[in-house]
Structure 1
Amino acid sequence: MELLIAFSLLIVLIEFQEQISCFSLSIPASPGYYQDGDFVIGGLFSLRVTARDNKIKFAFNDAMAIPEAVIVNLTKNYQHMLAMVFAMEKINKEPNILFNMSLGFYLFNDDFFETKAMESSMALLSGASPPIPNYSCRPEKTDKLVAVIGGISTGISTQISRVLSLYNVPQISYAPFDQSLGTRDKLQSPYQFPVHTAALYQGIIQLLLYFTWVWVGLVVPDEMRGELFIKEITEEMIKHGICVAFAEKDPVFSSFGQVRWYQLIVHLIMTRVVIAFGDSHDFLTLVSLINSGAIFGNIWITTSDWYTAILPFKQNGIYTPFDGALSFSVHKDEILGFKDFQKSVQPRKYPYDIFIQDVWSILFECPHVYEHVVKKLSQCEQNGSLSTRSLNVWDMNTSPLSYKVHEAVYAIAQALHEELSLRVNLDSFDKCGLQSPLPWKLHPFLQKGKLGRNINEENIVTQEDSATKLDIFNYHSLQSGTKAQVKVGEYLFESHSVQHLFLNDKLINLGVYNNQIPFSLCKQSCPLGFRKTQYSWYAICCYYCVPCPAGEITNETGMDQCFKCPEDQYSNKQRNQCLPKIIAFLSHEDTLGVVLVSVAISLSAFSAMILGLFIHYRDTPIIRANNRNLSYVLLVSLMLCFFCSLTFIGQPRTVTCVLRQMIFGVVFSVAVSAILAKTFIVVMAFKIIKPGSTLQMWMVTRVSNAIVCCGSIIQVCICAVWLGTYPPFPDVDMQSEYGQIILLCNEGSTLAFYCVLGYLGFLASLSLLIAFLARRLPDTFNEAKTITFSMMVFCSVWISFIPTYLSSTGKTMVAVEIFSILASSAGLLGCMFLPKCYMILLRSGSHFRKKVFK
């Protein structure tokens, strides 16, 4: 049944929107509730939603015309009128406030109709129904009018202001604060209750962050107030990493078939949290729209302007989709004595209140009958108490709008008090002369009072207390089957840097989620080992998750950036933890190290065997013909070359880093210089020393010795300069090998290192050139061919070494250099001495062969 009512509410409101322009001032104004006084304050309120309204008389046992298309009676709004009556009764009991003069009131119900609000405003001025413009039919009432309180929405307040501003009558609006009311040309803007928008925005943002809701929707009225709200709160949300999933304006749709209706449905399905900014009337149709469709499971966040519990429906009806809604309201204390006053309200106490009769009949469900299309009210419990009514139709707690009405009455009374005080001080106080007050004289006092005008008066409109406190309410189910707003927290705003949010999690009810906080994200947080990367204009909330690069991790979900591990650590495969790096170097325990050590020792032993063989057969022609002393030097230097490769294996230390390159450079220079000397001897022996030549062989021998010494000394000088300027030193490489700390020897001066290699290359190239030229010289013991081949092997190895060395890292780089040393040395050993060994062992006579092969 209640769903049917809600659906009907939506349809009729749509029809009302289309036909509202058809109303004219020819429709009689609704009767008002008048109470005389020395000064009269007008009040324009909204008690129900109707499509049409005829003149009605409310009284028990009296006939009344049936109003057409009464959509819903907002019985809780009657509290606004009671707040005004209560405030005036208290003021009238205090003789010092108005100098023994009294306040009266003239109250109207405009039924959320802007045209009726305008008619009622004119009725306040003329006192006739229908009103007669610029003519006072009831001067005893009209002349006493000093101010007007109303209306409930921006549109109604604007229409009231259009009439009252012509006569300069002060108007205090209890509608939500709207800056656009202060920017209308040629209109006197109504006074409004200033609101600290920064506190409200920050409170909403802090609540969203508390529940980690960063993907939210906005629903606002299609007017300047809604536009401003979207602009300002969106800017603040972006600063805090919150994104607006959608911003829907004009929630009151003209028909169900419109694209925007389906668009809103899609938005509500895709977005869990929705912020609704506007007053109750703005969302009457929205409430019906949502209720007539499916339950989307949204969490609604509202302000006090949208009083969620205003409609008189029970728990299983209209409010099911709004179960768990959260609302912000400016902190206010309960009006002292107002609850007791409400308990004492009865129709008999206020017989002239035409509104209480209708409200009472609804609250107490008075039986009625129809006679000739006339409704008869009877047997109504006139002695009943409002405190006995259920929360779905009446709430004894002071609503935010009732509090505003109460404060507005006191603001007018204070302005009257100050105006009267001036007359007393000027000795012009005459009670008779006060029967015709001038309303515009109250403007200066209202401007200085608690309520400020919103015509860009910074000292009034932006007036802020040192701290703003907001109460947070939650929409709750009660055992009685109805709903109520329950205070679940507070928000205290002192400045953007000083703000405090207090929430009682035990009291918060999130409706269909059974107190499980729902997710409201465009995308779930990136897991460990991944980071966010932006890809759309929802830059903060919508993103891709990409894995962290090597060496970087994320140890929390939803991180924007990966962070690097310390240099001595590396990231695991999951990129969520840093692990200590393994210290690595070419050690004697490694397989590669064992192989290289074995090869070096074997080649050294083989060199020693050949040296022993050459010493044993030193008198043979083949050894004597090739300068055996140079052969001994070459074999010893090659043996040392094999041994020097051992210094490259093991943990690098200062001594080993310095010695290994120096030993390598000097020993290899001795070996290559010896080969160069041998080449020189071959050339000298066959080209220069001829029969009858005066040059003696002993001179050639001395020159060859000098070549070995000079070649070695030059390399020693290069190494000495290297040691004196920028010598090698132990170093670590943490980047080349993933997950490893490479211990290595930094060569220090790279130029000196390549000078050592370059000098060896120069000696080898010179030997190769000379030997190549002498390769065809005739002689049985000519070494030119073997020197040519040995130098070709030597040069090939070290030419290949350079690019391989530069492209290698860590242990591989050391292994490349060791391999080059062993390969080049082995090449020299094999090419220079294996042919001689073959000739010595296999071609030295039958006696030796028999001895060997016996």
Structure 2
Amino acid sequence: MYSCIQNDDDSAVPTITSSSYSMQGPPDKGYQNHNVTNVEHDSDSSAVPKNYQHILALAFAVKEINENPQLLPNITLGFHIYDSYFIPKWTYYATMQLISTADRFLPNYKCDIQNNLIAVIGGLDPQTSFYLATVLDVYKIPQLIYGYAPVMNDKTPGLTFHQLTPRESFQDTAILSLLIHFKWTWVGILIMSTDTGKRFLQAVSPKLTQMGICFAFLETIPTLSFLSEINDQLRNMAKIHDRIMASKANIVIVYGDTFSMVYLRWLPYLSEPEHVTNKPRGKVWIMTAQMELTAIIYQKNWDLDMFHGALSFTIYSNDIPGFHQFVESRNPSRTKEDGFIRDFWQQAFICVFSNPVVDMVKGDICTGKEKLDSLPESFFDLRMTGHSYNIYNAVYAVAHALHAMSSSKLKYKAIVEGEGLELQYQLAWQLHNFLRGVSFNNSAGDKVFLNQNGHLIAAFDVMNWIISSNQSFHRVKVGRVDPQAPPDEAFIINESAITWPTWFNQVQPLSQCTMNCYPGYSRKFKEGKPFCCYDCFTCSEGTISNQTDMNDCYKCPNETYPNKNKDLCIPKYISFLSYEKPLGLSLACFALSFCLITALVLGTFMKYHNTPIVKANNRSITYTLLISLLLCFLSALLFIGHPEKVVCLLRQTAFGIIFSVAVSCVLAKTIMVVLAFMITKPGSRIRKWVGKGLANSIVLSCSFIQASICIVWLATSPPFPDADKHSVSEEITLGCNEGSVTMFYCVLGYMGFLAIISFTVAFLVRRLPDSFNEAKFITFSMLVFCSVWLSFVPTYLSTKGKYMVAVEIFSIIVSSAGLLGCIFFPKCYIIVLRPELNSREQIIKRKT
């Protein structure tokens, strides 16, 4: 159905002249002049009685304008209403009637200049508006549409429309904002199987995908058809119903028109023939702006539970003063000029008017006393709906544009001598420029403004559909989407005002393919599944995720480390082997204790300097060994405390040189034992080599090699203070970077080489007759020494942070204590506790 508006200065009262409102067949010849006053009720009719309000809104607007002396004085508006029957050929036929004579169908020929076609208001169906435009565009006749805009393609000429609805891109953004706000990422979509439905899908799909929202299913609503095909359509809807109910998506976006609601209302009754069970509960329906709660005659008393809690985007509408009373006053007996009211009355109240021509009338008789307010709101609404509000504003937009055109001195001339301004016959195309940018306040006080592109500048309201237990229906405004508002105010939603479907027990529903991967977890997508379907895995060691649904975990900065839940980076604390900590204090105490013991041993030996047991095996080497052991224990203290540059340079090199001196002394003592045994053989030539000079040479030469290695180390890549941020996850370890690891292991390797030689020689001579079996004691000491340092390397490499330093200190103390104990404890025992054995005779006796 669509209407045309004409200006007519012969009649001040508009009349409605049209064929039947119901879809029963094509119009006959002389369609626009045929007054329908009596229509027999047909039980097969599939009209939507609620759309009758659109006609009333049109008539009411024209009535108000004609009664307003300030708007269009001396000009009277009239209108005709035509039905397209959703068939292109009848749409074109009716369109040609608009540009034809009143009495005969002669397109492009009109002789009555007092009846001028000013504009056409298109129908709800976009295709109807498109078919109209292909003809009207030739004559530049403006068309105002209050439904979806037709889809244009490359083969379509640039047709002009004045759209009384906001651009659909605003609605797409509004839907996206709603889904993001409630974090609904798994949604189903129902669209019309039309070009506009495909356009919506093409426009919204990339945006949804970009924001991480997936389609659980995508179904199409059958297009409007005649009753002969309704069974096939319902079978298709039954399959759609089963797929919807099988889906885990709780949110269903429905892009449709008024008649789409007729199909949706079939859903609760498709699975069971008895029409009573298996209602599609547990879904939140999100309706687009063109959808209204409507019903056909069969659905008058059907329940509305499935729509309870639905959310819909609606174009702003308001109650027009006087419209409610205008609608209530409609009555078949008092409104003779209304050619639609009798058919509407029969549809709405399921009755028929008595017909004197027909003897028998099937069904109840319409009395005309039925009350409109007794009808369900889904069947007829006394308040102005969104579509009716747009039609009302469309009529006023034409009137204001026409008023501006008639007042323009540039396009119209004044008739002098007091006759005022008289509208000359003008082509309708001149009205286009005045419709662009038209702005006015309607009788409800709302501002209506069309921009230069012919689009209405308005916001969307978010409405919550509430179905009461008595099946009464009302809508509650819970939000607003205003494209002209600041970004932070463009989308406003009041969650506390929303009533959710009873299935969710008034708790905000979730709609996700997979539950969120919370901080501390990352997503792993499932192969062959939409990207909204994934598995959650804990972040690996050393990584975190601090947001929901992160694709990958990331490492914390060097100065921080992950907490236990792996969702936060915590600053690392500074760590080093300190005297204030138990470990450092314990090692320092051990080192000092053994220093004291070594000093006591050295003092004891010096006190009994001239006794045979001290004089045996070279006193100078013995004192050198004790002093080097004392320094070894003291060198362990260099590893404790805050690392400084000088300390880092000294601690490894000093430790390496001092230990080399100690091991060299042990090697010298071992070699001296061998030589001492060999010179006892008659005629031995080795006697000349035995003496203090040989022992000192061994110690000096072996120590010099280690000192040379350390000098090269310090010259090429010296150690330096460093902060280790990676070895231990929770701390920054302050220590000394060895500079060259190769040189470090060269120092250890050379020291180990000396120890192995000493152990080998001592082991070979362990059974030689010697005073107090010193060779055997040296063997034990070197066995301890080699065992400690062989176990040191893997232990050192397997530990991290300050414990690496602790392992090295421990190795220094234990190996030094092994040398001290194994070599000097037996001698101190004799010196202190068994002085009778500390005599020359006992030494000679033991050697023998």
Give the TM-score taking structure 1 as reference length: 0.75
Written as runs of structure 1 = structure 2, the 5 A alignment for 1:597-608 is none
Q: Are the structure 2 counterparts of residues 816 and 135 from structure 1 closer, same or farther at C-alpha, using a change threshold of 3 Å?
A: closer
State the secondary structure of the residue aligned to 1:519: coil
Name the SS for the 1:82 alignment partner.
Answer: helix
- Shift of the alpha carbon at 1:300? 1.2
Any conservation in 2 of the 1:36–1:141 contact (CA below 8 Å)?
no
Q: Secondary structure at the match of 2:475?
A: strand
Summarize the Cα distance change of 1:418–1:58 in structure 2 as closer, same or farther, 3 Å threshold.
closer
The answer for the alignment partner of 1:19 in structure 2 is none
Q: CA deviation at 1:428?
A: 7.7
Are 2:119 and 1:147 aligned?
yes
Which one-letter code corresponds to 1:121 in the other structure? Answer: T
The partner residue of 2:239 within 246, 262, 283 is 262
Distance 1:68 1:395, change over 3 A: closer
Cα separation, 2, equivalents of 1:33 and 1:231: 35
Larger displacement relative to structure 2 (410-419 or 146-155)? 410-419
Question: What's the CA shift string for 1:733-759, capped at 9, x where partnerless?
Answer: 564456567675655665664464355
Tell me which amino acid in the other structure corresponds to 2:342. Answer: Q
Give the secondary structure class of the aligned counterpart of 1:267: helix
Using a 3 Å threshold, how does the CA distance of structure 1 residues 794 and 749 change in structure 2: closer, same or farther?
same
- Secondary structure of 1:637's counterpart equals helix
Q: Given the superposition, is the C-alpha separation of residues 95 and 203 from structure 1 closer, same or farther in structure 2, using an over 3 Å criterion?
A: same
User: Which of 413, 424, 430 lines up with 1:426 in the alignment?
Assistant: 413
CA shift at 1:153, angstroms?
Answer: 0.4
Distance 1:42 1:215, change over 3 A: farther
Look up the match of 1:157.
Answer: 129
Structure 1 position 354 matched with structure 2 position 329: no
- Where 1:354 maps in the other structure, the secondary structure is coil
Supply the AA of the counterpart residue of 1:241. G
Distance in 2, matches of 1:160 and 1:478, equals 42
Residue 45 of structure 2: aligned partner: 70
8 A contact 1:587–1:649 mirrored in 2: no
1:296 counterpart = 2:280: yes
Pair 1:327-2:312 in alignment: yes
Q: 458, 463, 475: which one pairs with 1:473?
A: 463
Q: 8 Å contact 1:106–1:124 — kept in the other structure?
A: no
1:542 correspondence with 2:541: no
What is the CA distance between 1:470 and its match in structure 2?
1.7
Instruction: Indicate the SS of the match to 1:489.
Output: strand
Partner residue, 2:251: 273
Shift of residue 330 of structure 1?
2.6
When structure 1 is superposed on structure 2, of 497-506 and 514-523 the one drifting more is 497-506
Match of residue 446 from structure 2: none
For residues 365 and 622 of structure 2, the distance between their equivalents in structure 1, rounded to whole angstroms, comes to 140
Amino acid in structure 2 at the alignment position of 1:106: H
Superposed, 1:445-524 pairs within 5 Å as 445-446=434-435, 449=438, 460-461=452-453, 465=457, 468-478=458-468, 481-494=471-484, 497-512=487-502, 513-524=504-515
2:226 is aligned to none
Tell me by how many angstroms 1:245 deviates.
2.6
Contact 1:42 1:148 in 2 (8 A): no
Give the C-alpha shift of residue 355 in structure 1.
0.5
Q: Which moved more, 1:214-223 or 1:480-489?
A: 480-489
Q: Is contact 1:221–1:277 with CA below 8 Å preserved after alignment?
A: yes
Shift of 1:547: 0.9
User: What's the secondary structure of 2:189's corresponding residue?
Assistant: strand
2:63 alignment partner in structure 1: 89
Question: Residue in 1 aligned with 2:214?
Answer: 243
- Go from structure 1 to structure 2 and tell me whether the alpha carbon gap of 1:113 and 1:385 turns closer, same or farther (over 3 Å shift): farther
Is 1:665 aligned to residue 637 of structure 2? no
Q: Counterpart amino acid of 1:381?
A: G
With over 3 angstroms needed to count, the CA separation of the structure-2 counterparts of 1:377 and 1:599, relative to structure 1, is closer
Deviation at 1:545, TM superposition (A): 0.9
Letter of the 2:255 partner, please give it.
Answer: F
Matched residue, 2:173: 202
**1:275 Cα offset (Å):** 1.3
Shift of 1:96: 6.0
- What is the correspondence of 1:42-121 to structure 2 with a 5 Å cutoff? 50=23, 64-67=39-42, 69-71=44-46, 73-94=47-68, 97-110=71-84, 112=86, 114=88, 116-121=90-95
CA distance in 1 between partners of 2:624 and 2:220 (Å): 99
Conservation of the 8 A alpha-carbon contact between 2:766 and 2:779 = no
1:90 deviation in Å? Answer: 2.3
Q: Is the 8 A contact 1:681 1:701 kept in 2?
A: no
Change (3 A) 1:837 1:363: closer
2:145 aligns with 173
1:215 matched to 2:182: no
The percentage of counterpart residues that share the same residue type is 34
Separation in structure 1 between the aligned mates of residue 360 and residue 114 of structure 2, nearest angstrom: 36
* Contact residue 169 and residue 439 of structure 1 kept, 8 A: yes
Stretch of structure 1 that moved more, 513-522 or 582-591: 582-591
1:503 partner letter: I
> 1:143: Cα distance to partner?
6.0
Report if aligned partners of 1:44, 1:110 keep a CA contact under 8 Å in 2: no
Q: Is the CA contact (8 Å cut-off) linking 1:585 and 1:810 kept in structure 2?
A: no
Matches within 5 A, 1:409-808: 409-418=395-404, 420=406, 421=408, 425-426=412-413, 438-440=427-429, 442-446=431-435, 449=438, 460-461=452-453, 465=457, 468-478=458-468, 481-494=471-484, 497-512=487-502, 513-527=504-518, 529-535=520-526, 541-553=532-544, 558=549, 562=553, 574-575=565-566, 620=612, 626-638=617-629, 640-641=631-632, 643-644=633-634, 647=637, 661=652, 664-678=655-669, 700-702=691-693, 704-705=695-696, 707-708=698-699, 712=703, 735-737=726-728, 747=738, 750=741, 753-754=744-745, 756-757=747-748, 760-761=751-752, 798=789, 801-808=792-799
Task: Give me the whole-angstrom Cα distance separating, in 2, the residues matched to 1:540 and 1:207.
Answer: 20
Measured after TM superposition, the shift of residue 539 of structure 1 is: 6.6
Determine if the alignment matches structure 1 residue 404 to structure 2 residue 396: no
1:519 shift after superposition = 1.0
In the TM superposition, residue 231 of structure 1 has moved relative to its aligned partner by 2.2
Tell me the distance in 1 between the aligned counterparts of 2:312 and 2:117.
37
- Give the gaps of 5 or more residues in structure 1: 1-28, 452-457
Deviations 1:72-106 (A, max 9, x none): x4222112111221222222234565451322222
Give 1:829 deviation, angstroms: 5.9
Q: Give 5+ residue unaligned stretches, structure 2.
A: 224-229, 272-277, 441-449
Partner residue in 2 for 1:232: 203
Q: Is the 8 A contact 2:184 2:510 kept in 1?
A: yes
CA offset at residue 240 of structure 1?
A: 3.4
Q: Aligned equivalents of 2:4 and 2:340: distance in 1? A: 9
Task: Check the 8 A contact 1:791/1:828 in 2, yes or no.
Answer: yes
Distance 1:316 1:704, change over 3 A: farther
Query: What is the TM-score with the length of structure 2 in the denominator?
Result: 0.75
- What's the CA shift string for 1:269-311, capped at 9, x where partnerless? 4221111112112443343245534322211111221112465
Tell me the amino acid that sits aligned with residue 368 of structure 2: E
Could you say which residue in structure 1 is the equivalent of 2:367? 380
Residues 323 and 510, structure 1, Cα contact 8 Å, conserved in 2 = yes
Question: Is contact 2:327–2:382 with CA below 8 Å preserved after alignment?
Answer: yes
Residue matched to 1:18: none
Judged with a 3 Å threshold, the aligned counterparts in structure 2 of structure 1 residues 377 and 544 are, in CA distance, closer, same or farther, namely: closer
The structure-2 alpha-carbon separation of the partners of 1:723 and 1:44, relative to structure 1 and needing over 3 Å to count, comes to farther
Distance 2:5 2:163 in 1: 24
Aligned position for 1:317:
302
Task: Classify 1:375/1:160 alpha carbon distance in 2 versus 1 (closer, same or farther; 3 Å).
Answer: farther
| Contact 1:251–1:283 (CA under 8 A) maintained in structure 2 | no
CA contact (8 A) 1:610 1:837 kept: no
Give the CA deviation at 1:671: 1.6
Q: Give the secondary structure class of the aligned counterpart of 2:62.
A: helix
State the Cα distance separating 1:387 from its structure 2 match: 5.5
Could you tell me how far apart the structure 2 residues matched to 1:135 and 1:675 are? 127
User: What amino acid is the match of 1:280?
Assistant: T
Summarize deviations over 1:102-129 as a string: whole Å, max 9, x none: 2222223445555554444344455789
SS at match of 2:459: strand
Q: Aligned pair in 2 of structure 1 residues 290, 109: CA closer, same or farther (>3 Å)?
A: farther
How far has the Cα of 1:483 moved from its partner? 1.3
1:691 Cα deviation from its structure 2 partner: 9.9
Contact (CA 8 Å) 2:61, 2:392: kept in 1 or not?
yes
Q: Distance in 2 between matches of 1:740 and 1:448?
A: 68
Q: How many residues align?
A: 805
